[in-house]
Amino acid sequence: MSSDVKTTTFSTAETESVGDKLGYGKDSKERLPWEHYLSQYQESDPKEIAARLGISYDEEQKYFTLKFLGTVYQISWPDFQVSHEADDMGFYPLETMVYARTLTIRFLLNGAASQSTGKFKTYREMPWGEVYLRQFDGRCIKRLAFSYGNRIKDFQAIMEHIHCVPVKHGDIAYQLEIFPGYLVQMILWEGDDEFPPSSQILFSDNFPISFQAEDMAVMGDVIIGSLKSFAKCV
């Protein structure tokens, strides 16, 4: 790997599941331990992954190049060590968040390159969205509103720091690309003396091609959790 990247090796002892954090049912795939996904990854064909996702794979140095939440990462195969290219973000979720790591390895294993038609949908409108709607509403929608609904300027500063695109929704809204071609819009309505703050999270309509409902709930949790860390870098 190039000399201007920083490398993190993940410990396999870090097995706390995303499902445990989000309160998913016992049969949820998110309760499978990290070693399960790592084993599948190690048995996978990296050339097939690169072709399916439309990302680059360096056969000599054995790593993928993947953009995640605004940062370009290099992910080694077969051991899933992560490096990030130097940028101004200041926080790197793939190197610190087990949620982000699990989400990404699942994307590498099961995802596909896809572009949206330009339409966006709520979580409820996604296949099986009703199953995890209560968890998504609590962990993502209400959390976003509670955290930033009365701190619009702070939200704006964070979203601009991570180079999100402003969109015309609510009182303030931004669009981000979490994986190549997969877009998320985060919308806030500011609270006042009469009404509490509220929020909405929209997903580009191609998400079902690569992500299940529980993945998208995890994704919202990863993004909102990352905002708090990005705030320290503004």
DSSP states along the chain: --TTEEEEPPPTT----HHHHHT--TT-GGGS-HHHHHHHHHHS-HHHHHHHHT-EEETTTTEEEEEETTEEEEEETTT--EEEE--S----HHHH-HHHHHHHHHHHHH-------S-EEESTTSTTTTTTHHHHIIIIIHHHHHHHTT-HHHHHHHHHHTTPEE-SSSSEEEEEEEETTEEEEEEEE---SSS--EEEEEEETTGGGT--HHHHHHHHHHHHHHHHHHHTT-
Residue 90: left if φ>0, alpha if ψ -120 to 50, beta else—which one? Answer: left
Mean pLDDT on 5-28: 43
Question: In this predicted structure, what is the pLDDT of residue 15?
Answer: 35
Structure tokens that stand for 73 in this block: 């990462």
Range from 14-23, 32-41, 76-85, 122-131 carrying the lowest mean pLDDT: 14-23
| Residue 66 and residue 179 in contact, taking contact as beta carbons nearer than 8 Å | yes
Specify the higher pLDDT residue, 167 or 30: 167
Q: How confident is the model at residue 1 (pLDDT cuts 50, 70, 90)?
A: low
The pLDDT of residue 234: 94
Q: Tell me which of 32 and 233 has the higher pLDDT.
A: 233
- Mean of the per-residue pLDDT values of the chain: 89
Q: At what angle do helices 46-53 and 98-110 cross, to 10 degrees?
A: 90
pTM of the model: 0.87
User: What mean pLDDT is predicted for residues 178-206?
Assistant: 96
Give the residue extent of every domain in the chain: 5-110, 120-231
In percent, how much of the chain has pLDDT > 90?
Answer: 79
Query: In the numeric block, which tokens belong to residue 188?
Result: 């806030």
Rounded CA-CA distance 113/119 in Å is: 17
Quickly state the pLDDT bin for 26 (edges 50, 70, 90). Answer: very low
Give the Å distances, CA to CA, from 87 to 4, 63, 157: 10, 19, 17
User: Residue 135 pLDDT more than 80?
Assistant: yes
Q: What are phi and psi of 120, to 5 degrees?
A: -125, 150
Radius of gyration in angstroms for the set of CA atoms belonging to the chain, rounded to a whole number:
17
Q: What confidence score (pLDDT) does residue 31 get?
A: 54
The pLDDT, as a whole number, for residue 22 is 40
Whether the pLDDT of residue 20 is over 80: the answer is no
How is residue 210 written in tokens?
A: 């690569």
